[in-house]
Amino acid sequence: MNLVIDAGNTSVKLAVFDRENLIFYQNIKADELARQVKEVCDHYPKIKDGIISSVGKMDRKVFGVLAVFCNVHELTSNSRTPYKNSYATRQTLGVDRMALATAAFYQNPKGNTLVIDSGTCITYEMVNDYGEYLGGAIGPGLQMRYNALHEHTAKLPLLMPEEPLDFIGNSTENSIHSGVVNGMVQEIEGVINQYKRRFTDLTVILTGGDAPFLSKRLKNTIFADSKFLLRGLNYLLEYNKH
C-alpha cells in the first residue's frame, strides 16, 4: 500500500492506495498532518511507501513521522517522470503540475490530454499523444478572483462562489457573481477551444476543489475527477521505486 500526501495552498490531502485503487481519502489542515499520518499508518499497517508533494513549505517533522512507518519519497523537480518533459524551466515546474501531467500520461497514454486543475489557482497542463508534456498556463482561481475584487477596491464585499441568477447582474453582489463565475467559465471554454484547434481528439479532464462547481456550467465535454492529482502522485511513487 502507498500513502500519498498532497500539501496544497489551502489544505492537505491524505490518500491511501492499494495498487491503483484509492481506498482512503481525507482533507485536513496543515497543523494536523503529523498526527493524522500516524493514525492512518496505524490503521493501514500494510503501507510500505509514501510520497509527499508540497507547493509550499512543509514541516520537516512530518518526514520524520512518516519515515518511522514507510519509505518516503519527496517529490521534487529531480524526481523521475514517465513522460518526456519539454518544459523550458524544469526546475521551476510545480510538483502539483508534475503529478497532473503524470496522471494524464497514464490515463490517456496514446492521446492528447488537457488537464484543468481549479483550486487556489487554475492551471492548464497539456500532454500530447507522443507522451510529451508541453506546459500550459497558470491563472487566479475562483476564490482568488472574489478576494481580489474585495481587497483591491474600497467598497466591494467579499463573497463566496455562487451561481449567478443571470449574466446581467441587477445588484452589486449579483454583478460580482456574474463577473467572476461567468468570466471564469468563459475563460475555461475559450482555452479548451484554443487547444482543440491545435490538437485532434482532445480529452479534457477537470479536477481540483472547484471542479464540481464548474463542471455543471461548462458546455465542452469534460471528465471531472477530483482525485486526479492524487492518482498522479501514486503513479509517480510507483515510478520512482525502481
Provide the residue-wise pLDDT of the chain in tens; the chain has 242 residues: 999 999 877 789 999 999 999 999 999 888 888 888 889 999 999 999 999 998 877 777 778 888 888 899 999 999 999 999 999 999 999 999 999 999 999 999 999 999 999 999 999 999 999 999 999 999 999 999 999 999 999 999 999 999 898 899 999 999 999 999 999 999 999 999 999 999 999 999 999 999 999 998 998 889 999 999 999 999 999 999 86
Residue 147 to residues 141, 180, 205: CA-CA distances in angstroms? 10, 10, 26
Residue 67 within a domain: yes
Residue 242 within a domain: no
Number of structural domains found in the chain:
2
Residues 15 and 114 in one domain: no
Residue 79 within a domain: no
Residues 93 and 140 in one domain: yes
Please report, in range form, the residues annotated as the binding site.
Answer: 6-13, 87, 94-97, 117, 120, 172
31 a catalytic residue? no
pTM of the predicted structure, to 2 decimals? 0.92
3-state secondary structure of 74: strand
What is the CATH classification number for the domain harbouring 42?
Answer: 3.30.420.40
Of 18, 31, 96, 129, which residue is the catalytic one?
A: 96
Residue 15 within a domain: yes
Residues 100 and 184 in one domain: yes
Residues 64 and 95 in one domain: no
Residue 240 within a domain: no
CB atoms within 10 A of CB 114: 23
Residues 97 and 173 in one domain: yes
Last residue of a domain, one of 35, 52, 74: 74
Domain with 215 in it: 84-233
CB atoms within 10 A of CB 21: 9
Please report, in range form, the residues annotated as the binding site for substrate.
Answer: 87, 94-97, 172
Strand order in the sheet with 202-207: 84-85, 132-140, 121-127, 112-118, 202-207, 223-224
Residues 69 and 92 in one domain: no
Which 8-state DSSP code applies to residue 80?
-
Q: Identify the burial level of 51 via C-beta atoms within 10 angstroms of its C-beta, where 0-12 means exposed, 13-18 middle and 19 or more buried.
A: buried
Last residue of a domain, one of 48, 74, 100: 74
Please report, in range form, the residues annotated as the binding site for K(+).
Answer: 117
Residues 205 and 147 in one domain: yes
Residues 57 and 90 in one domain: no
Last residue of a domain, one of 74, 101, 130: 74
